[in-house]
Structure 1
Amino acid sequence: MIHENSEAIINLYQSWLDAWNSRNATAMAKLFAEDGNLIGFDGSQLIGRDDLHVTLDNIFSHHPTAAYVAIVREIRHLAAGVAWLKADVGMVPSGKEDISPALNAVQTLIALKTADSWQISLFQNTPAAFHGQPELGEAMTEELRKVLKGDSGVNLN
């Protein structure tokens, strides 16, 4: 049975993906709790909405960022008003039509329920290197390519 708040968590994550893919730093920052944290693919850390907004706006203004394609793998409700989401993601570089396997990652977020909505407290993007297990990376890429082609979508898989 899927928890009643799972759809809200998926919607929060989808909003994050949409904001990144549309290169909208304002929309991204608004999804986070005031003291929210983002840990990037390279280990960089952004703390708080202001830091998130300024840094992401600078990134989007100066770099042609790749677009995410995602498969939500798991949602856990840790306590009342606290949820954890894990997703596999691939990225399609700007101007390209296919995923770059070197950019595949596993994303996790911790969401907190406020009086009005769910907000991201912590977001982490970890490279999916699969050292010594290239078949896992290849399988992830093929699944993500199906999402890219529209054969499936961002849903709880």
Structure 2
Amino acid sequence: MEWREVIEHPSLRDLPFKIETNEWGKIMMTPATDIHGIYQSLIDRSLARLAKEGQTSTECPIQTSKGVKVADVAWRSRAFLKKYGVRNLFLVESPEVVVEVQSPSNSAAEMEEKKQLYFGAGAKEFWLCDEYGNMRFFNPQGELKRSELFGEFPEHIDIESV
């Protein structure tokens, strides 16, 4: 199934799942939880505050070598926005920063694969938030102590302090 068909299909709207496609165009659905959405929102807001330019977004569809994957949060530089604009069904190249919030239904192997797919699509950094709010930062060479693009981003997202 092509991504346009997925987003236009009436029975796939308003589902409590994150929808992506695999390399054969088959629909993959991951159940969403309330805490997942809270972390996603807090990460987006924190990243937007730190970004001097560019744009953050949630639910960012990115074409990868294994189908369209939907990043929980992404940041695009001004140069990226100038090149690709903002009215895309999906992005043919990954934004510079891609963030995934790990749900209990996500395995470590699945997150590793997504990380590699986003880097293969051009991401500069991949961030992973675990189910307790602990952040891990990666570039294509490996794990980082902190983000190289947003060094002030917290290593822990505290949902209790909201």
Q: Same fold per TM (> 0.5)?
A: no
TM-score by length of structure 1 reads 0.28
The structure whose residues are more often helix, as a share, is 1
> Greater strand share, 1 or 2?
1
Q: TM-score, normalised by structure 2?
A: 0.27
Higher relative contact order (CA 8 A, sep 6+): 1
